[in-house]
Amino acid sequence: MRRNPAEQAAHDALTHYSGVITERMATHLPEEPLPSVFLAEIMPNSEDLLQSIGNNHIPFTDDAQRKMAMELLLRGELDRPKPISPLPKFDIVVMVVERTNAPPEIFDLIWLTFAITNTFPWEPANKIEVTLREMLIPHAAQILRHIEALTNLSPKEFPLERALRLARFTAKDLRDAKNYRASLACYQQAVRIHAAMPRPNTNQMSLDYALISILRAALDEYEAALEPAEVSVRLRISSDAGHANHLKQLAKVQHKLGRLAEARVTYKQAIELYRTQENAAFAETAPLLGLMKVVIALGDWESVDGTLARILELCAGDLQPADADKILTNLIGLITPNYPQTPKSPADEEKVRILTPHAITTLDMLGSRTDINPAQATVLAFSLAKRLAHVNRGQEAIRFYRQSIAIREAVQGPSTVDGATIYNLLAILLLQLKDRPAAQAAAERAVEIDRSRQEEKPERLARLGSIYRSLGRLEEARASVEHALELAGPTPADPTQAALHLCLLSEIQIRLEDREQADLTLTRAIDFYESANQPDHPQSQAVARDIATLKANLRA
């Protein structure tokens, strides 16, 4: 980042002075103590700071010495120099040091801690404050280590509430910068400072323990994340404070550690607490989604049913649109991988039975939108359509096939669901419902997608030919089936299917009054069928029926 000369001078001065002080802290050189230059460089309210130190924190031997020191510090020598100028009267601070019981190193740490905590720009308003924030953090972390090493966190030697403030804002800044390991060290120091204080703030302490747990989890250290999560909950309960968020964090860790039964109980406790709060509908959804993951892992599908119903109830309520979008994204992500496209066991059937109505509600809420978890929404709509078609709910199935297509085509890129496959299944379903024009459009689109990728499939071309035949478009029907047979080749991989396609072509040729060619085509169909000898093939009986019918037609 480019700085103007004034900004660069400020940066250089601050780096120099803070570096000198922290370096001397590290080496413990017995030099005359340096004052905190932050007093002049960056502190807007010097008098307030000094009054606070004088009245509360620096252990003067008696009130007279405190008064003398404060008079020296508050005299006109501290006349607010320009931001980048050096402090004009170092000797004033030296005189204060001589009148205290604090060793020089500790006194310097006191100065530096007060200066940083009073001037740290939480929300930088300009480039100088951004530079200042960037520069303060590494020094703050170093100062914290010196405080613990030199004072053993004794409240008689150091103003621990200031050390705690320094530790907490340093930890937060490092966490925001995703420097999780360094942030964790600062939060751990914060809880040690809490423990050393005569009257620690229990609620603040519980929050720091919760953040330690969160950081451990972010570092994939879930075993180490468990104890601080438990401590944070106990502290909140002991102070009779709201602890739903802390329970939620504990449940997350329990889940990650495979302690599913405990996680279920903890999530339920969090949910009950959220329900007692006003305007907490969105907050309640987070533990509900976590609970749903747990009960899915436990295979407790009845609980999945109730949990999903509650989430959808909240989603349909008075949530902000952005919050509802987040819930839909998570719901689609949870339902989709657990919804079997083709149930193969009683357990799969149970999943489908429980999830189908919730999947319908979720996709209905999604409506025409294609921007919410589109990859999984495509799959869910497709899987749901297949299921509904299987149980003869054809009109609903068509709706979700079309929704799957709309999402798939709106979002370009790879997908686990092939667009041509969706169109092909839609064509089959529309044929079953006798909607031949719509079936034709879907079948043509499936073939078109295949052709664009040079992946044409004989069965789809033959299906399109069959639709053309039913619509009386016989020349197009013949061309489509002949192309399917060309793709299959002289020795097709599936001779029974090839025989079925030949029977279809023979019928089309009869209707075109080319009986001689129809007879030859039927002979080829019989040859393929008999040589294949696949009585268990799903299309074997259909081929046998078609052969018998065509023979009769050609003899007539």
Place 112 in a pLDDT band, splitting at 50, 70 and 90: low
Q: Is the pLDDT of residue 12 over 70?
A: no
- Tokens found for residue 404: 């799957």
Percent of the chain at pLDDT exceeding 90: 57
**Is the separation of the CB atoms in 336 and 374 below 8 Å?**
no
> What was the pLDDT predicted at 65?
41
What mean pLDDT comes out for the span 97-121? 61
Helices 202-218, 180-196: inter-axial angle, 10-degree rounding = 160
**Is the separation of the CB atoms in 263 and 271 below 8 Å?**
no
- Tokens found for residue 270: 């969090």
Is the C-alpha dihedral spanning 39, 44, 46, 48 positive or negative?
Answer: negative
CA 410, chain centre distance (Å) = 22
> What was the pLDDT predicted at 473?
94
Q: What is the mean pLDDT of the chain?
A: 81
Q: What is the pLDDT of residues 467-498, one digit of tens each?
A: 999 999 999 999 999 999 999 998 999 999 99
- Tokens found for residue 24: 């001397």
**Is the separation of the CB atoms in 409 and 437 below 8 Å?**
no
What mean pLDDT comes out for the span 67-71? 41
Q: Under CATH, what is the fold of the domain 201-319? A: 1.25.40
Q: Is the pLDDT of residue 64 over 60?
A: no
Task: Calculate ∠ Cα 422-427-432, nearest 5°.
Answer: 130
> What was the pLDDT predicted at 57?
37
Between 55 and 469, the more confident residue is 469
Give the helix ranges, DSSP H, for 1-126. Answer: 5-27, 38-41, 46-52, 63-74, 90-98, 104-119
> What was the pLDDT predicted at 111?
64
What mean pLDDT comes out for the span 533-537? 89
Amino acid at 533: N
Nearest 5°: phi and psi at 60? -65, 160
Burial class (CB in 10 A: 0-12, 13-18, 19+), 138: middle
DSSP class of residue 60?
B
> What was the pLDDT predicted at 137?
79
76-85, 342-351, 412-421, 530-539: lowest mean pLDDT where? 76-85
> What was the pLDDT predicted at 180?
96
**Is the separation of the CB atoms in 69 and 45 below 8 Å?**
no
What mean pLDDT comes out for the span 227-251? 90
Q: What is the pLDDT of residues 167-225, one digit of tens each?
A: 998 999 899 889 999 999 999 999 999 999 988 999 999 999 999 999 999 999 999 99
> What was the pLDDT predicted at 305?
96
Q: Would you list the domain boundaries of the chain?
A: 1-198, 201-319
Q: What is the pLDDT of residues 321-350, one digit of tens each?
A: 889 899 999 999 999 999 998 889 999 999
Q: What is the pLDDT of residues 298-328, one digit of tens each?
A: 999 999 999 999 999 998 887 888 898 999 9
**Is the separation of the CB atoms in 385 and 407 below 8 Å?**
no
Q: What is the pLDDT of residues 409-445, one digit of tens each?
A: 888 766 677 888 999 999 999 999 999 999 999 999 9
- Tokens found for residue 184: 């964790």
330-344 burial code (b ≥16 CB/10 A, e <16):
bbbebbbeebbeebe
Q: Is the pLDDT of residue 126 over 90?
A: no
Task: Calculate ∠ Cα 399-404-410, nearest 5°.
Answer: 125
> What was the pLDDT predicted at 317?
82
Percent of the chain at pLDDT exceeding 70: 77
Place 49 in a pLDDT band, splitting at 50, 70 and 90: very low
Q: Is the pLDDT of residue 86 over 70?
A: no
Q: What is the pLDDT of residues 275-288, one digit of tens each?
A: 888 778 888 999 99
What mean pLDDT comes out for the span 503-529? 94
Between 528 and 69, the more confident residue is 528
Q: Is the pLDDT of residue 255 over 50?
A: yes
Q: Is the pLDDT of residue 76 over 60?
A: no
What mean pLDDT comes out for the span 124-146? 75
What is the spatial distance between Cα 553 and Cα 461, in angstroms, rounded to a whole number? 25
Q: Is the pLDDT of residue 380 over 90?
A: yes
What is the spatial distance between Cα 158 and Cα 107, in angstroms, rounded to a whole number? 9
